[in-house]
C-alpha cells in the first residue's frame, strides 16, 4: 500500500508536521438478527486519543503496519444445479440474481468462481464430455454445458465487469478409467489411464477458454478421500502426489497451461496437513502446486472446524497459498431457511479462515431451488439464495448477507492486517484494500449488546456490536 497513506493512518494527527494530514474517518455497515439491517449503513465513527486502553475497555486493536496474505477473491460455485435453476427464472429475477452477486455497489461484488469438469451430485444426471471408452478423447465436447452452465458463466463474467477469477474441479474420471467401473461410489483411477485423464483436464480448460471463459486454476480432485453415493474418486496422498508430478503437472506445462494455479487436496481441514506435507515435501510435485484447497465438512465427524490445521500448513509451507474451495450447510429443510445460524456459520468460518492465512474463499452452490436441488442423488443442501420455482421469486438467506460483509468491502489485491479482539464474544479480521481503505470485520455470536472501541495507533472510536450481528467498518 501507499506508505504515506499508511503513516497517515498510524499517526494521523497530533503534531504540526502532520497537522495537514486527514483525520481518519470510519463508516459502519451491519447485518443483525431481529432487525432490518442487511449490510446497512449504521453510522459514522470519529477517532479521539486513547493511548492506553484499560482492561475493562472492550477493544478491537488494528495494526495496518503488519501485513499478511493478499486476497485473490471471494465468490461461489456456478454448478449445473445453479445454472439450471437460474435458467428457469423469469428474466427480471435472473437480472436480480446477477446484480445481487456480482455488482459491488448494488450487490455483494463476487470476484471468484468455481465450476466442475463434467457432472457432480449437483447435476440433474451423470455425464462426461466423451463417448464411453474413448481414451484418446477424440469425441471430446462440452455440448452438455451449453444448455445451462456456459450461458450463466458468460453472463456472470459480464456482470462482474468482464473479469471473473474461475477455477475448475473434477468429481470423477469417466467410468471406464476407474477401478470400480462407475463414476459413483469412489473407486480409483486406473494407472493405465493417468495420462488420458491428465489430457482431459487440459482439453477442458482449452475448450472453455476458446469459448470465452478464462480459467485461472484447477483442483486435482474434489474430496479425494470420500467414497460418496455420487461422483467420487479416491486418491491417497501418495497417489495425488505422483499423479501431480508425473502426469498432471507435466501435461499442463506441455500444453502451455503452466500459468494455471494447481490446487491440491480440495477436501476437509481434518487431514489437510497430512496431505499437504506428503505432496509439498516432494520438490518434484511441489513445483507444480500453487496451493492447498480445503472444505469445512470435517464437522460430519462430530468435530468442530479445525482452523489450526490451516495455520500449520501455512506456517510449514509459507510459499504456498490456502484456498477455501467449498462450503455449504447440508441437509436442506425449507423450515430452517430463516435460521440465523446459517449466516453465522459462514461468518465464523470466513474470519477464522482468513486469520489462518487463506487467500481465496469460495461458497458452494450460489443458487438452488426450493427443494435444495436439483441433485441427482438426493443430497439436498442450503444455498445463500434459493428460487421459488412456483413464483419465480428469489429467497435470500442471511448467509448471502454475511458473505457480503466481506466480499463487498474486501477486494482482490487487499492485504490482511492485524485485527485483535480482547473479548472472545467478538471475533475479527481486517484487510487493507489497494485503494488504501481498511475494512475491519467484527462478528458477535452472543446474545449481548457489546459496546467497544476500534483502536488504531493510539486513536480510538466508540461503537456498538449488536447481538448476533456482523459489521464491517470501512476506515479511510
CA dist., res. 265 & res. 261, Å (int)? 13
Q: Which helix (H) or strand (E) holds 134?
A: none
CA dist., res. 110 & res. 104, Å (int)? 8
> Which residues are known catalytic residues?
223, 326
φ/ψ region of 266 (left if φ > 0, alpha if ψ in -120 to 50, else beta) reads left
Strands (E), 4-82: 25-32, 40-46, 48-49, 59-70, 73-77
Q: How far is CA 288 from CA 222, 251, 329, 345, in A?
A: 18, 11, 32, 33
Closest CA to 218 of 194, 242, 200: 200
Residue 30 backbone dihedrals phi, psi, to 5 degrees: -135, 145
The residue whose grid cell reads 481486517 is 430
Write out the three cell numbers for 424: 472472545
Residue 324 backbone dihedrals phi, psi, to 5 degrees: -80, 115
Q: Which helix (H) or strand (E) holds 165?
A: strand 165-170
Cis peptide before 374 (omega within 30 of 0): yes
User: Hey, how many other C-beta atoms are within 10 angstroms of the C-beta on 399?
Assistant: 24
Which value, in Å, is the radius of gyration of the alpha carbons in the chain? 23
Residues with Cβ within 8 Å of 70's Cβ and at least 6 positions away in sequence, in order, are 359, 413, 414, 415
Write out the three cell numbers for 216: 485461472
Write out the three cell numbers for 395: 429467497
User: Hey, how many other C-beta atoms are within 10 angstroms of the C-beta on 370?
Assistant: 17
Closest CA to 362 of 377, 349, 378, 381: 349
Write out the three cell numbers for 18: 502532520
Amino acid at each position: 500500500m501507499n506508505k504515506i497513506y499508511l503513516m497517515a493512518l498510524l499517526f494521523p494527527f497530533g503534531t504540526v508536521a502532520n497537522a495537514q494530514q486527514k483525520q481518519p474517518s470510519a463508516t459502519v455497515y451491519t447485518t443483525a438478527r431481529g432487525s432490518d439491517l442487511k449490510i446497512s449503513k449504521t453510522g459514522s465513527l470519529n477517532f479521539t486519543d486513547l493511548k492506553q486502553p484499560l482492561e475493562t475497555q472492550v477493544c478491537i486493536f488494528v495494526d495496518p503496519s503488519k501485513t499478511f496474505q493478499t486476497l485473490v477473491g471471494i465468490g461461489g460455485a456456478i454448478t449445473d444445479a445453479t445454472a439450471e435453476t437460474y435458467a428457469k427464472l423469469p428474466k427480471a429475477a435472473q437480472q436480480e440474481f446477477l446484480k445481487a452477486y456480482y455488482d459491488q455497489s448494488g450487490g455483494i461484488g463476487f470476484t471468484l468462481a468455481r465450476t466442475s469438469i463434467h457432472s457432480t451430485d449437483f447435476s440433474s444426471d451423470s455425464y462426461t464430455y466423451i463417448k464411453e471408452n474413448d481414451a484418446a478423447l477424440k469425441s471430446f465436447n462440452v455440448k452438455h454445458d451449453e444448455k445451462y452452465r456456459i450461458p450463466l458463466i458468460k453472463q456472470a463474467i459480464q456482470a462482474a465487469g468482464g473479469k471473473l477469477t474461475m477455477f475448475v474441479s473434477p468429481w470423477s474420471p469417466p467410468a471406464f478409467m476407474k477401478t470400480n467401473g462407475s463414476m459413483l461410489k469412489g473407486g480409483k483411477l486406473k494407472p493405465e489411464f493417468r495420462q488420458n485423464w491428465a489430457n482431459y483436464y487440459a482439453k477442458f480448460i482449452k475448450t472453455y477458454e476458446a469459448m470465452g471463459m478464462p480459467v485461472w486454476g484447477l483442483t486435482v480432485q474434489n474430496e479425494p478421500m470420500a467414497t460418496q453415493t455420487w461422483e467420487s474418486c479416491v486418491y491417497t496422498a501418495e497417489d495425488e502426489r505422483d499423479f501431480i508430478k508425473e502426469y498432471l503437472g507435466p501435461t499442463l506445462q506441455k500444453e502451455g497451461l503452466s500459468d494455471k494455479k494447481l490446487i491440491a487436496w480440495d477436501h476437509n481441514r481434518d487431514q489437510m496437513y497430512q496431505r499437504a506435507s506428503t505432496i509439498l515435501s516432494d520438490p518434484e510435485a511441489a513445483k507444480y502446486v500453487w496451493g492447498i484447497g480445503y472444505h469445512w465438512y470435517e464437522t460430519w465427524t462430530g468435530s468442530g472446524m479445525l482452523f489450526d490445521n490451516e495455520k500449520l500448513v501455512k506456517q510449514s509451507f509459507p510459499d504456498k497459498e490456502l484456498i477455501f474451495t467449498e462450503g455449504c450447510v447440508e441437509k436442506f429443510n425449507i423450515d430452517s431457511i430463516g435460521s440465523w445460524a446459517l449466516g453465522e456459520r459462514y461468518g465464523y468460518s470466513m474470519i477464522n479462515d482468513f486469520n489462518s492465512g487463506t487467500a481465496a474463499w469460495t461458497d458452494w452452490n450460489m443458487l438452488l431451488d426450493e427443494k435444495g436441488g436439483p441433485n441427482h442423488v438426493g443430497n439436498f443442501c442450503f444455498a445463500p439464495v434459493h428460487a421459488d420455482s412456483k413464483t419465480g421469486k428469489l429467497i435470500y438467506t442471511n448467509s448471502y448477507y454475511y458473505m457480503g460483509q466481506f466480499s463487498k468491502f474486501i477486494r482482490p489485491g487487499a492485504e490482511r492486517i492485524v485485527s485483535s479482539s480482547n473479548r472472545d464474544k467478538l471475533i475479527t479480521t481486517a484487510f487493507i484494500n489497494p485503494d488504501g481503505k481498511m475494512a475491519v470485520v467484527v462478528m458477535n455470536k452472543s446474545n449481548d449488546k457489546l459496546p467497544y472501541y476500534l483502536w488504531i495507533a493510539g486513536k480510538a472510536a466508540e461503537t456498538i456490536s449488536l447481538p448476533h450481528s456482523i459489521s464491517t467498518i470501512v476506515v479511510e
